[in-house]
Amino acid sequence: MTATPLRETDCLVLIDLQYDFMPGGALAVAEGDLLVPVANRLAERFPHVVATQDWHPAGHSSFASQHSGREPFTTVEMPYGTQTLWPDHCVQGTPGAELHKDLALDRAELILRKGYRRDIDSYSAFLENDQSTPTGLGGYLFERGIQRLFFAGLATDFCVAWSVLDARMAGFEAVILTDACRAIDLAGSLDAAMAGMAEVGAVITESSAVLG
């Protein structure tokens, strides 16, 4: 693995390391809990760290429970396009929405909450699922002079991948640390996500490139 020297304009972006995405959670991603110590080791190396937090109101429109006769992991058409329906998860103020207690957040300069608008989901750390409503993260990073983003967290094929794609569209360099992510993988979604990230010029590597 080729080493990737870090720059002062680099930032680690930790995506949704919350209990509902961990084993036993409402929308569990296999081995999601194993990412926490890796994220902590990475955070020690980076000059800048931000984290995201899924933060849905109760009765969010992306929940299957809000669509009569629909099951989780099926899709519906929303005004902004096709939406995967999920189990109720990361509801504001619930234990499942909390970031993992062992995640070392002392070096996080920003914790960005997303998905709090009831009628639209928000996978990406940059744009909600209509691909036009910004979260504000892009402006924050540009004003800070950040140029290159390293992504870790959950899940590779949804919130991580959409964040990587939008980071590239916004003009940032983007690096995905694949061993510091885990996927849901719905009907080939992981392969599609990896291909999409490569297509937009994201660097695909592992955490050893940073940690040595």
Q: Which residues are catalytic?
A: 16, 114, 159
C-beta separation of 45 from 14 below 8 A: no
Distance in angstroms (rounded) separating the CA atoms of residues 33 and 145: 32
